[in-house]
Amino acid sequence: MTPTVSVVIPTYNYGRYVGEAIDSALAQSAPPHEVIVVDDGSTDDTPAVLARYAGRVRVIRQANAGLSAARNAGIRAAGGEWVAFLDSDDAFHPRKLELQLAAAARRPDLHLIATDAFSAEPLAWAAADDPPLAAVSAPDIAVRTVFPPSSVLARRACFAAVGLFDPDLRSVEDRDMWVRVAVRFPTAVLAAPLTWVRQTPGSMSRHPERMERFDRLVIARSFALPELHRRWRLRRRATAHMLLSSAYTFLTAGRPAAAAVRAAKALAVWPLPLPADEVHTPFVRGRLLLRSLLEVFAPRRVPA
C-alpha cells in the first residue's frame, strides 16, 4: 500500500503566489492524500484564491500567529503518514513526492527526506530519474541550512516524538526543527532539484538584528542537546556561518559597517577555510568583508 502524504501549505498575504504552490501539489505523479492550506490571517485576496480550490484542498483559517504556528496547525490537522511542507511562494517538481516515497521504500528507516532546491527563473524542471540519496546528520544541519523547508517530507510520527515548531522563533525555526528530528531519526537528501524556492524581497532584511538573535538562539539550543554538547569546534564553525549570513543580511539592509564587523568576526571565530561543500564561493568571508568596507568608505552614489 502506498503511504499517505499530507501536504501542508502555510500562507499569509500571498494570494498572488499560493495558487501556483497548490497546483504543484495537486499535480504530483504520486497524488497526496490531502492538501491542507493554513491561511494565517491573510488580508489580501488569498481567501478568494483559495475558494477556487473548494473540494480539492482543505483550508484552515486562523488569526495571524506566524509561520511556525501555521505549520503546526497543518501538522495537527494532517491525516497522512507523512507530512510534506510547501511554502506558499514555492513549488514542487511534478515527481517530487513520488521520488521521495520511492526513497522511503528503499530506506524504511528514514524519517525525513529532503531534496535539493533551486531558484532560477523562469521555472523549468529538469528530468529527475533515480537521484542519489545522501545521508545528513544533526551536526550537518546544526552548522548551516542544508535544505529548505519546502523540500521536506517527514513522517508525522517525528512531530509526536520531538514536538512542533517553536512559534516564538520568527526565523530559522525550520533548522531548529530539523536538528531535533535528525538527532533522533535517520535523515537524508535526494540529490536532485525537486523543489523550487522563489526569491522575493521580504521583510527579513529590515530586521537583521532579530534574524541574528534567533540564529544565535537556535545554535545555542542545538549545541545544548546531549548529542551535540561539547562539540566546540563544530559550534565555532556554526557561529562563523551564522555571522556570514548575518553580514549578508546587514549589507542587504544598507548597513555595510555592521556587515563588515560580522564578516570580520566570522573570520576571527573560524580562521580556517570553510569546507568547500559548505560555501559556494572561495574566500567568501574575506570577499564580503572587502565588499562591505568598500561600501563604507566608497559608497555607490545614485545619480540625482
171 or 9, greater pLDDT: 9
State percent of the chain over pLDDT 90.
Answer: 89
User: What's the mean pLDDT in 66-79?
Assistant: 98
Burial class (CB in 10 A: 0-12, 13-18, 19+), 282: exposed
What is the average pLDDT score of the chain?
Answer: 95
C-alpha angle 206-287-196 in degrees, rounded to nearest 5: 55
> Does residue 304 surpass a pLDDT of 50?
no
> Does residue 218 surpass a pLDDT of 90?
yes
> Does residue 298 surpass a pLDDT of 80?
yes
Alpha helices, H only, the chain: 15-26, 46-51, 67-77, 96-106, 138-143, 156-162, 173-182, 208-222, 232-252, 256-269, 284-297
User: What's the mean pLDDT in 85-111?
Assistant: 97
pLDDT value at residue 127: 87
User: What's the mean pLDDT in 275-300?
Assistant: 92
State percent of the chain over pLDDT 70.
Answer: 96
Give the distance, in angstroms, between the CA of residue 27 and the centroid of all CA atoms in the same chain: 22
pLDDT value at residue 301: 59
User: What's the mean pLDDT in 14-28?
Assistant: 98
| Grid coordinates belonging to 61 | 483559517
